Chain A
Amino acid sequence: MTARRSAHLWITHLCLMTTALGVLWLAAPAAAGQQPVAASDHPATFGLGRAARTSEIETLDIDVMPDGTGLPVGQGTAAEGARTWARACGVCHGVEGEGSTAAPVVGRDPDSRRPTVGNYWPYATTLYDYINRAMPRNAPGTLTPDEVYSLVAWILSKNDIIATDAVMNATTLPDVVMPARGRFVPDDRRGGPEVR
């Protein structure tokens, strides 16, 4: 695995916008970063599995993280994305992204509670990750990096999050701050008598 950028920046952002509970929540997994305890009769290793080849890890490791780790080389603009959208996306998500048989992706009215990209997506990198892995539904995994970057640019531009001529690539995309970013809080349900 390639070295990931430190999570400190991300954690700092999240802590600032969350409550003390949120800080506890983020600290809990870190504190739990222990080795699993083996059953007492387990050997040190069972000798199962084979060493993974670097090439097969690179092939399968398609995820993109909020800090941009995993973004490939490539780029795109909204103008380029408009053509791909018309060809591959509009039939389900609407010509202007307003939604049709599939969910709307364009909308900046939080009061509408529609989970559009402008209202409800906290990270722009998730757009790349999801479109690349799962879209279009009838031919997932067929878009090139340039096509995915351009679709991300088109969606972000239609939601008035980036300029219409902005170039999206592995450097610019992680720096896009999404309108919904500050609204996300960790789960605060803990069992017990209180309904949350």
Chain B
Amino acid sequence: MTKPHTRHGDLRGQDGRRLTRRALLAGAAGAVGAATVAPVSGQQSVDTTRRAGRGPNEVDQRSSFVTPRRDPSTTSSRTPLQDLRGTITPADLHFERHHGGVPNIDPARYELLIHGLVDRPTVFSLADLQQFPATSRTCFLECSGNLRRGTPETLPQMVCGLTSQTEWTGVLLSTVLREVGAQPSATWLLAEGQDAAVMTRSVPMDKAFDDAMIVYAQNGDALMPGNGYPARLLLPGWEGNASVKWLRRIELADQPFMTREETSKYTDPLDGGNTVRQFSFVMDARSIITDPAYPRVIEPGWHEIRGLAWSGRGRITGVEVSTDGGATWHAAILQGPVLPKAHVRFRHLWQWDGDPAEIMSRATDETGYVQPTWEALQAARGPGTRYHQNPITSWTVGDDGRMLFGAERLRS
């Protein structure tokens, strides 16, 4: 029933399954009538039991029927949330946002300099970083510019695809700071990348001592180039821009550095611009329904509403789903384990009766914060903020079964 969305040529999911089922049926019919099997799709023989498949190989690839794609622009690429069913984002589908392209860094020549308010200014190789005691952390990473309000023909990927989740492995930054003798007078550090933007952000030392990491592995493998190979900073729960990739330098100081990315960018004009909120690091709780969503066309009957929820302040404690445009709400099932600062899957059974409806979700985190409506965000901040938007979003379905993005809810 899924309508292929032509922009991305992505036929994965329901279409892929239908194709397979049809192929199997055709294969069974063919086996009755004749020994020869005619290809149906042009991509594979009908009866896979009559011919040995390929042997083991060095690196596997997705089935030819499965083609999830990021949606790249000149500066970012967005995770296809509608094509994923768990909480871990495959490394090659993790969103990207970079400011000077992706550098190609030889790990043998990679060095990280740590200096400033430290007793022992030190240069670490990648091997040095990997020799420290390692730790792994599963958490989301979200760009604070992660909202497109769009048109009704907008994919989950385009609404909210600048969030992804990874099992990161590396060394706690506190371990490395202890090695270099971080001085008590240090209150901020500068993290600097090795890309053509030489990206820099200031980070408070209390975050550095809390749960910050220098990571070199993504889902157990080396980082992908677009996500900072060979090593990046990781600040769990904080806006992605501050988790500086291709990390080449850390400088400890007694004040923030006021870089371009923390002054003229990634800041929030409030009250019509009379004030500007700065260092808005933590990503507030948010959720999105990833299925059913545009461009699916559904039929009356039972559907499982599925989505993701997360909070930069800790654990998600609940997700509520409404199937009547927000008039009534129902507690969704959370798929455990529910990790802090991590994507969690939520699911809710819904019997669609064929009448027009609007489905939406809202997340609550352990601080008691409830994901707000667009109107509530506008009322709190005034118009004109571009970053850190986490409104409730919805999908509508008409009596023709077509799912569309609830763009009307995000009108100013």
Chain A residues with CB under 8 Å of chain B are: 1, 4, 7, 10-11, 28-30, 32-39, 42, 45-46, 48-52, 56-57, 60-63, 65-67, 110-111, 113, 115, 117, 119-123, 125-126, 129-130, 133-134, 137, 140-141, 180, 183-193, 195-196
Contacts and interface: CB of A to CB of B under 8 A. Distances in A.
A195 B376 contact: yes
B279 A187 contact: yes
A122 B279 CA distance: 13
B100 A183 contact: no
Given A113-B269, A126-B259, A191-B313, A49 B122 contact: yes
Contact of B206 (A11, A32, A134): A32
Contacts of A7: 254-255
Contacts of A191: 282, 284, 313, 365, 367-369
Q: Is the contact region of chain A dominated by helix, strand, or loop, or is it mixed?
A: loop
B187 interface: yes
Given A34-B209, A196-B380, A65 B253 contact: yes
Contact of B277 (A38, A56, A187): A187
A39 B263 contact: no
A30 B254 CA distance: 8
B131 A33 contact: no
Interface in B87-131: 99-100, 113-117, 120-125, 128, 131
Interface residues of B, number: 81
5 contacts: A34-B209, A66-B258, A119-B273, A189-B282, A195-B380
B205 interface: yes
B280 A189 contact: yes
A51 B187 contact: no
Given A34-B209, A126-B260, A185-B276, A10 B255 contact: yes
Nearest to A7: B255
Contacts of B117: 1
B274 interface: yes
Given A29-B187, A48-B132, A49-B128, A57 B279 contact: no
Contact of B122 (A52, A121, A133, A183): A52
Given A126-B258, A134-B196, 8 more contacts: A1-B121, A32-B209, A63-B190, A113-B384, A125-B258, A129-B257, A184-B278, A189-B280
A35 B182 contact: yes
A36 B100 CA distance: 33
Interface string B158-201: 00000000000000001101111010111110101000111010
A111 B253 contact: no
A118 B119 CA distance: 40
Contacts, number: 205
Contacts of A195: 372, 376-377, 379-380
Contact of B369 (A39, A137, A185, A192): A192
B276 A183 contact: yes
A187 B202 CA distance: 14
Contacts of A56: 113, 123
B258 A65 contact: yes
Contacts of A190: 367
Contacts of B205: 29, 32-33
B200 A120 contact: no
A30 to B, nearest CB: 5
B249 A185 contact: no
Contacts of B345: none
B253 A4 contact: yes
A189 B267 CA distance: 13
A185 B281 CA distance: 13
A97 B200 CA distance: 24
Contacts of B200: 63, 129, 133
A195 B285 CA distance: 11
Contacts of B100: 134, 137, 140
A183 B275 contact: yes
Nearest to B117: A1
B263 A123 contact: yes
A141 B197 CA distance: 9
B401 interface: no
A78 to B, nearest CB: 20
Given A34-B209, A61-B251, A137-B100, A187 B281 contact: yes
B279 A130 contact: no
